Amino acid sequence: MTTSGAASDLQVFADRQALMDAAAERVVTAAAQAIADHGGFTWALAGGSTPRELYSLLAGSAWVGRIDWSKVEFFWTDERCVPPDDVQSNYRMARETLLDTIRPAPAQVHRMRGEHEPERAAADYAEELTRALPIGRRRAPGAPPCFDLVLLGMGADGHTASLFPGSSALDERSRWVVPVEPAPGAPWRLTLTLPVLNAANQVSFLVAGAAKRDRLAQVWQAPPAPDAAALPAARVRPRSGHLVWLLDADAGAFRERRSP
């Protein structure tokens, strides 16, 4: 079921397997289009638990042959400030579920250095984006890098990447990568900022489960002006790219909720 809003689509699937199959098909299609268009596919991966299933699916025999992995450049939307072998690491999750199978060349894997001091790691990653996403892949000199695909999840509080409600990182307009402290005492994180997320050619949200329903209703009722939206996920509105929300039925049931 697809409904379209302002340059965005909402697609709801009967169950998680159908959701993951649809998400895998979007990655395959986006990769083929990017490789045909400019010889490579720059993909910013989401962290968290939902995408685990997608990455494992893409590494499986039914899908792994459908992408020319030698042309894929892997990036991350955010990372926890932990070593790469830490169980909390988004890189480790992607390595275990996908990269260990497809074995890309090290130069294809652009990992956020969660093990480094956060400010330095954020600055280093912004420099890596400059090197790895050549000027031709941006809409103007100095403009944010333009990923072919940004994959995002959404937390039950409406956060996305590591952009949390009320965070000053939501108002960042010049830096492309910033360190954030999600909550006092919580492990620091690194995150791409909204200018980068909204420069993408395509953004796909992958959201599953009833726990996300209330926030999805809020996202869908958010004001048209992205900056006026309270929830970080509602502020992701690619300026000229395509936005699609891929939901399972449990999450998609938010549309049946009656406002009180």
Q: Which listed residue (161, 180, 196, 229) binds ligand 6PG by CB under 6 A?
A: 161
Taking a C-beta distance cutoff of 8 angstroms, is the pair 111, 190 a contact? no
Q: Is 21 exposed, middle or buried (0-12, 13-18, 19+ CB in 10 A)?
A: middle
Site string for ligand 6PG, 33-72 (x = CB under 6 A): -------------xxxxx----------------------
234 lies in the binding site for ligand 6PG (CB under 6 A): no
**H helices, E strands: number in the chain:** 8, 10
Taking a C-beta distance cutoff of 8 angstroms, is the pair 112, 91 a contact? yes
Q: Which is nearer to ligand 6PG, 162 or 198 (CB)?
A: 162
90 lies in the binding site for ligand 6PG (CB under 6 A): yes
Looking at the DSSP bridge assignments, the partners of residue 42 are 73
204 lies in the binding site for ligand 6PG (CB under 6 A): no
Q: Closest approach of Cβ 93 to ligand 6PG, in Å? A: 9
Q: Closest approach of Cβ 91 to ligand 6PG, in Å? A: 10
In the complex, residue closest to ligand 6PG by CB: 153
Q: Closest approach of Cβ 92 to ligand 6PG, in Å? A: 12
Query: What crossing angle do the helices spanning 16-38 and 50-59 adopt, rounded to 10°?
Result: 60
User: Can you tell me the distance from the alpha carbon of 239 to that of 122, in angstroms, rounded to the nearest whole number?
Assistant: 24
Q: In which region does residue 5 sit, left (phi positive, over 0), alpha (psi from -120 to 50) or beta (all else)?
A: beta
Q: Which is nearer to ligand 6PG, 50 or 97 (CB)?
A: 50
Q: Closest approach of Cβ 176 to ligand 6PG, in Å? A: 16
Q: Closest approach of Cβ 49 to ligand 6PG, in Å? A: 3
User: Can you tell me the distance from the alpha carbon of 188 to that of 180, in angstroms, rounded to the nearest whole number?
Assistant: 6
155 lies in the binding site for ligand 6PG (CB under 6 A): yes
Distances (CA, A) of 46 to 4, 12, 152, 153: 23, 19, 5, 6
Binding site for ligand 6PG (CB under 6 A): 46-50, 77-78, 90, 153-155, 159-162
